[in-house]
Amino acid sequence: MSKTILVTGAAGFIGCEVSLILLSKGYRVVGLDNMNSYYQVSLKENRLKRLENPSFTFAKMDIADNSSMLSLFEREHFDGVVHLGAQAGVRYSLQNPQAYIDSNVTGFLNVLECCRKFPVPHLVYASSSSVYGRNTKTPFCTEDPVCKPSSLYAATKRSNELMAETYRHLFQINSTGLRFFTVYGPWGRPDMAPWLFADAILHDRPIKIFNNGNMMRDFTYVSDIAQGVVKVLETGMSRMESEGAVVEHRLYNIGHGKPVNLLDFVKTLEKHLGKTAEKIYLPMQPGDVEVTWADTKALEADFGYTANTDLDEGIKAFAEWFKGYGV
């Protein structure tokens, strides 16, 4: 019998890609999502259509609903959990902070409690490069202190890491947190820079360049991220199946490891859209940071993982999808 994996946020950008890989590898996948209206639900519905497969079961559910989550875990007996469901977005956390507490803190607590009451060999969960906040040392390393978040979103993600460590200590929950670095690619989110820029360029609207363009981002292609997530999950499950496996909570950066200037990113996008952007230069936004840059040596050493998609290749794929999606 094939193993059953829970993917929360399965109708999301990364969750859909992870689910597709798991299905291609012969797993049975239960995909959970609350289908909220943070951005257009039609995009999430179209992602779910990509997952139509006899081995995929969709559960429309909110991770903040404790009783429903417990019932799901009791019914399914998961062999692994990939927790990607969360309220995303740095800027939106300034407008609706309660949504971040409900989803990212209460929701994550419910996932941990379910893993405690219905033991799962390995939990992989999404953290974020945002936890590095106002750190100025680069590249960012998981050994660096992370006590100066720049947004509530970052604070909730750091709280997830601390909660996971507590549950390892108290209840022997085996988990791995992955700090994602600026994920982009086809089927991305409308609130992220690639989509916002592409939509504006194609519709002859100016794009907003914050901090006057003095921004660096460790852009990482979505399929690279998803492959890394699955590799970490499978390795963790295998370790727990082996005799004498040690229960651990580990943190890793998952990114490309090569930061790109924002203006270079825009130039590459212009090339593949075939249009030049009108640019409005603005000061830094509250909650944002100038640089993200992942030190990925630990992930490479422990899992043999590297992100292989270069920016030109990734932006080309995104631009072709975007034009074809008919936004």
Reply yes or no on whether 153 is catalytic: yes
Question: What does the block give as tokens for 187?
Answer: 């089927």
Helices (H), the chain: 13-24, 41-50, 66-76, 92-95, 97-100, 107-117, 152-171, 193-202, 222-241, 262-273, 297-303, 311-325
- Looking at residue 54, the DSSP 8-state letter turns out to be T
Question: What does the block give as tokens for 274?
Answer: 């075939």
Q: Say how far residue 83 (Cα) sits from the centre of its chain.
A: 9
Q: Write b or e for each residue in 204-222: b if 16 or more Cβ atoms lie within 10 A of its Cβ, otherwise e.
A: eeebebbeeeebbbbbbbb
Distances (CA, A) of 31 to 5, 56, 164: 8, 7, 22
Catalytic residue among 27, 100, 153, 167: 153
Q: For residue 217, report the phi and psi dihedrals to the nearest 5 degrees.
A: -135, 140
Question: What does the block give as tokens for 165?
Answer: 């460590």
- Looking at residue 12, the DSSP 8-state letter turns out to be S
Distances (CA, A) of 74 to 68, 115, 116, 117, 210: 10, 10, 12, 9, 47
Nearest CA to 176 out of 257, 266, 82 is that of 82
Pairing of strands 279-282, 175-180: unpaired
Q: Write b or e for each residue in 177-199: b if 16 or more Cβ atoms lie within 10 A of its Cβ, otherwise e.
A: bbbbbbbbbbbbbeebbbbebbe
Neighbouring residues of 288: CB distance < 8 A, sequence distance ≥ 6: 90, 91, 150, 210, 211
Catalytically active residues are 153
